[in-house]
Structure 1
Amino acid sequence: MATEAREVDLTGEVCPMTFVKAKLHLDRLAVGDATTLILKAGDQIRNVPRSLRDEGHAIEAVQQDGDRYRLLVRKGE
Structure 2
Amino acid sequence: MTSPLPVHHKAIDITAETCPMTFVRTRLALDTIQTGEILLVRLKGADPLANVPRAAADQGHDPLELLEQPDGSWLLVIQKG
TM-score normalized with structure 1 length: 0.88
Structure 2 residue corresponding to 1:70, chosen from 44, 64, 75 = 75
Q: Indicate whether 1:34 and 2:15 are aligned.
A: no
Pairs aligned (count): 74
Structure 1: give runs of 5+ residues left out of the alignment. Answer: none
Q: Is the 8 A contact 1:38 1:71 kept in 2?
A: yes
2:47 to 43, 47, 53: 43
Runs of 4 or more consecutive aligned structure 1 residues displaced over 3 Å after TM superposition = none
Letter in 2 for 1:12: A
Aligned CA RMSD, in angstroms, stands at 1.5
Q: 1:37: Cα distance to partner?
A: 0.4
Q: Is the contact between residue 9 and residue 33 of structure 2 (CA under 8 Å) also seen in structure 1? A: no
Indicate conservation of the 8 Å contact 1:41/1:67, yes or no.
Answer: no
Does the C-alpha gap of structure 1 residues 47 and 4 become closer, same or farther in structure 2, counting only changes over 3 Å? closer
**Structure 2 portions without partners, runs of 5+:** 1-6
Amino acid aligned to 2:40? T
Matched, 1:7 2:11: yes
